[in-house]
Amino acid sequence: MSPQWIGTVSYGADRDGSVYKHDFRCDLRRYMQKFFNYKLAESLDAVTLDGASKVVNCLNPHSFAKALDDKDFRTALENSDVLLPDGEGICMSLRRWRGVRVAKIAGDDLHRYLLSLLSQRRGKVYYMGSTEKVLNLIVERLGREHPEIVVRTLSPSFCDELGEEESQEIVNDINAFAPDVLFVSMTAPKQEKWVERYKSLLCDVKVTASIGAVFDFYAGTVRRAPQWAVRLKVEWLFRLLKEPRRMWERNFVSTPRYLKWVRKHRDEM
């Protein structure tokens, strides 16, 4: 496999006129950590707005467990150009069974990181998903914090699976806007499977990222756990207490199943 390069090469000149070269490129494989059939990114440095288009997804115990029964979802995760370890259960398993320390990288971290990159180059971002209310709040906050970023939004139909006609209209609208970054929020596994199906039709998007609840976090309609909870690795407990109806399956069904499966198959990790 030939290296997939990310980053750029720049040139400059010293005071004596001699030319020097800074090679900021790096092999994307350096940032990847094997986790069963998945390749997990160890750093957000793997995500750039340069080079080939990239699909970025997040992996946590809930999505891992869901993918065991959903081949299309599993394929979408496996085909990610960058897959982030967005769950302490994932990081814990790597430490316990592989002796590898990988820090959790949440979708919220990815979102803020990409907004920073977009701000530097006065880029364009497209938010697809959630409700009009949430999207309007996102636009308002972007206007305050990153007025240099050009933004467009779209709230799709709320259904189990978007139809072909609506999906094609969405793709056409995205391509007409030509964003640098496309954020998708339709909950897992719907969002990842939609991106996997239509990514080849997206023309000029540099990064396509499925980030779920981050739309609500940024809009302020749902509060993310405070930093002390993140540092103590109990963000899952904070979210369970705040949204018990939404989070109970993740914590009491998916997580135990994930832990049982990983323990049984740990030699394949």
Give, in words, the CATH class of 48-156+163-219: alpha beta
Per-residue pLDDT tens over the stretch 137-149: 999 999 999 999 9
231 or 142, which is more confident: 142
Confidence (pLDDT) at 206 = 97
CA–CA dist 179, 185 (Å, integer):
16
* Buried residues in 73-99 as b, exposed as e (16+ CB within 10 A): bbebbeebbbbbbbbbbbbbbbeeeee
Parallel, antiparallel or unpaired: strands 124-129 and 150-154: parallel
Nearest to 38 by CA among 59, 63, 66, 65: 59
Confidence (pLDDT) at 4 = 39
* Buried residues in 206-244 as b, exposed as e (16+ CB within 10 A): bbbbbbbbbbbbbbeebebbeeeebeeeebbebbbeeee
Per-residue pLDDT tens over the stretch 80-134: 999 999 999 999 999 999 898 999 999 999 999 999 999 999 999 999 999 999 9
Domain borders along the chain are 48-156+163-219, 227-260
CB 126 within 8 A of CB 154: yes
Per-residue pLDDT tens over the stretch 171-211: 999 999 999 999 999 989 999 999 999 999 999 899 999 99
Question: In Å, what is the CA distance from 132 to each residue of 67, 107, 185?
Answer: 29, 21, 13
